[in-house]
Structure 1
Amino acid sequence: MPATVHILTTGYADDRVASTVTLLRDGNTFVVVDPGMVADRGLILQPLQAAGVSPEQVTDVVFSHHHPDHTLNAALFPAARYHDHMAIYKDDIWEDRDADQYRISEHIHLLRTPGHTSEDISTVAGTAEGLVVLTHLWWHAEGPADDPFATDRGLLADSRRAILDLKPALIIPGHGAPFTPTTHIPI
């Protein structure tokens, strides 16, 4: 059975900021992506509980990048392995590895997608509806076309094209609701 996707909280970036926090389930693997800033931790924990998962059951946490708005609530998941662009962290073990193409489970893997930062990664999940990509290459469906924090706008465009070349059924952006990619999204 392919992975399933549950949005725990939909993020935003305006006068306040919260990350889109997502639960991916693939068999006995439970992955939380970007457990960052939210108005209240209950906005992560209550939807997680409603999905039938306790914080202790979360096996993996993925950081799309190391900004606090995407990492602040990582400690909610005491049994998890933590993934970033260069390593896996668990308790006092630091295991170096490149995230590009790293497989967390049968239907979930990571891709190196620099752009917003030079260390960005995206999470790709194979679902019954098609590929779902969780990424900070877009903050929301409208872009922004010109990410004001992008460290390299050329890399951002290259990474956006690489994600779109995968023909994802759905993109879950860093600070907004999931969207179906169209020819109108910014590259």
Structure 2
Amino acid sequence: MRFDLLFAGSSVYVPGKIDAPSSSAALLRDDEKTVIVDPGGYPSLKELETALNRLGVSPDEVTDIILTHFHLDHAFNSIFFPNATVHLHKNYATRKYIAFGTIIGRMYDKVMKSWKRVSTFESGKLWDCIEIIETPYHSREHVSLLVETDNAGTVLFTGDICDRQFHYHEMRKGMRKDEAAKIMLELFEKADVVVFSHDFPLFKNRSDG
């Protein structure tokens, strides 16, 4: 599959005023599939449309969406891809989204109802080129992904258990020794590109010596 970063994620938070994070989003393509990993939240809607237009991809052409986990800053924009099958860990169905709040819980419900097809997974392989690693340290359905690509080598999608570059450097320097850090360090060694959910990606052959 070919890898293209659609946009890097961000975290915008002003106490009492703004809480508008949005995840990084990436496009994976081969002759049969057009896949978006974590299409992001509402704040990134313009960036999503601009990136897809630049790559000549219509929302109707997107065949699949893969979610590292089901939080709105990663998944809200999935509502704009009517022909896509949504792939996510089976544990998403065990959560009570109304616990996020009455209004937010209803938004989760609307997003789920917009999905025409859902395919759940556990750890293992998806399409022989994507390794799914269960990393339930941020939410019970959270996964990280290792993707073998034609143009960028092995791409690691960390999800939110290592959402920014400085967390990566903390782990490498031994400042974090929890189970999530242990798994991430093993995955980092396998990756050529690391896509952080709320930061710019890291191209290891350029900046990781």
Query: What is the TM-score with the length of structure 2 in the denominator?
Result: 0.71
**1:28 Cα offset (Å):** 2.0
For 2:88 and 2:181, how far apart are their aligned partners in 1? 21
For 1:173 and 1:77, how far apart are their aligned partners in 2? 23
Instruction: Tell me the residue number matched to 1:5.
Output: 3
Report whether the alignment pairs 1:41 with 2:45: yes
**1:21 Cα offset (Å):** 1.2
Instruction: Tell me the residue number matched to 2:199.
Output: 176
For 2:86 and 2:80, how far apart are their aligned partners in 1? 12
Instruction: Tell me the residue number matched to 2:164.
Output: 140
User: What letter matches 1:142 in structure 2?
Assistant: F
**Structure 1 residues 140 and 38: CA distance shift in structure 2, 3 A:** farther
Contact 1:102–1:111 under 8 Å retained in 2: no
Q: Percent identity?
A: 26
For 1:97 and 1:40, how far apart are their aligned partners in 2? 27
For 2:26 and 2:35, how far apart are their aligned partners in 1? 8
Instruction: Tell me the residue number matched to 2:181.
Output: 157
Contact 1:116–1:156 under 8 Å retained in 2: no
For 1:96 and 1:23, how far apart are their aligned partners in 2? 20
Segments of structure 2 that go 5 or more residues without pairing to the other structure are 14-19, 93-111, 172-176
Say which one has the larger Rg: 2
Contact 2:130–2:146 under 8 Å retained in 1: yes
User: What letter matches 2:198 in structure 1?
Assistant: H
Segments of structure 1 that go 5 or more residues without pairing to the other structure are 147-152
How many residue pairs match? The answer is 172
Contact 2:5–2:27 under 8 Å retained in 1: yes
More helix by share: 2
**1:97 Cα offset (Å):** 3.7
Contact 2:188–2:194 under 8 Å retained in 1: no
CA-based RMSD: 2.8
Structure 2 residue aligned with 1:64, among 60, 63, 68? 68
Residue aligned with 1:79, SS = coil
**1:96 Cα offset (Å):** 4.7
Structure 2 residue aligned with 1:25, among 17, 24, 29? 29
Query: What is the TM-score with the length of structure 1 in the denominator?
Result: 0.78
Report whether the alignment pairs 1:50 with 2:73: no
Contact 1:114–1:155 under 8 Å retained in 2: no
For 2:153 and 2:195, how far apart are their aligned partners in 1? 13
